[in-house]
Amino acid sequence: MLSRSGACAVLTAAGSGSRLGCECPKALVEISGRPLVWWAARGLRAGGVGDIVVTAPEPSLEDFREALADIENLSVVAGSDRSRQESVALGLAALGDRESSSVVLVHDAARPLTPPQVTQRVIGAVRGGAQAVIPVVPVTDTLKTVDTSGVVTGTPPRRDMVAVQTPQGFCWDILVGAHRVGAALAGDEATSVTDDAGLVEAIGGCVHIVVGDERSLKVTRPLDLTLARLFVRDEPRA
């Protein structure tokens, strides 16, 4: 049962996990006895989020509901097998009507260990007047642009680049409107956007940044999972 009060979130968890080499949905892979999606939902709640809608693969809905049964004000709905963008739109629909100025976050279950402080910073910035907010960390590698034949076409200044994380935060009406305008892109992974801030940028919205955290790593490949398990193992126990 959703409460429809306070900050809310869509937690995307419909990925297959093929690059991770797992047979189950990636978000159900466990760290210290709990699936990635549980850690991600727990972190959102600790950061001040109320209602959470998880978008999961339709064949695994009951598995997700069982894994998240101890987290209140959370519901699990079927995501899209076509694109993340479409999954987010389905999650927004499941959140129902909200006040236009309500804070809504979009987070990836693949970032299970995002510290609550990052979520708090994102929520605080939206409540402070920002339309859209993304957490970022500095880029430490040298980056190159390349063409389709594999030839380097440029070296963008590293000082102008940041790596984007989630959760991303928005005013409710801004995010819903951006998804409505960009809906035609969502039917194919090749045309859909990879983050929701990109949809806001496309309609002329202003996207602000807050400081992210290196612990908010994205679990995509086996090495990422190993690192996440090390982070959990090394956390001080209360």
H or E segment and range at residue 76: strand 74-78
Q: Which helix (H) or strand (E) holds 116?
A: helix 116-127
Residue recorded with tokens 């690059």: 19
Q: Are 41 and 52 in contact (CB under 8 A)?
A: yes
CA distance 12 to 56: 7
Q: Round to whole Å and give the CA distance between 138 and 136.
A: 7
pLDDT confidence band for 226 (50 / 70 / 90): very high
| Contact yes or no for 187/86 (Cβ under 8 A) | yes
The amino acid present at 201, given as its one-letter code, is E
Contacts of 49 (CB under 8 A, 6+ apart): 6, 7, 8, 9, 105, 119, 123
Predicted local confidence at residue 37, as pLDDT: 98
Q: What is the pLDDT of residues 122-165, one digit of tens each?
A: 999 999 999 999 999 999 999 999 999 999 999 999 999 999 99
**pTM score, whole prediction:** 0.93
What's residue 68's pLDDT? 98
CA 188 to chain centroid: 19
Q: Report how far residue 197's alpha carbon sits from residue 80's, in angstroms, rounded to the nearest whole number.
A: 19
Instruction: Determine the pLDDT at residue 194.
Output: 85
Structure token digits, residue 167: 């959760």
Q: What is the pLDDT of residue 224?
A: 93
> How would residue 238 be classed by pLDDT, with cut points 50, 70 and 90?
very low
**Residue 100's pLDDT band (cuts 50, 70, 90):** very high
> Taking 90 as the threshold, does the pLDDT of residue 216 lie above it?
yes
Burial 188-220 (b: 16+ CB within 10 A, else e): eeeebbebbbbbbeeeebebbbbebbebbbebe
What per-residue confidence (pLDDT) applies to 191?
Answer: 85
Check residue 16 and give its pLDDT.
74
Residue type, 88: V
d(CA 183, CA 86): 8
- The rounded distance, in Å, linking the Cα atoms of 86 and 185 is 9
**Please, are residues 136 and 213 in contact by the beta-carbon 8 Å criterion?**
no
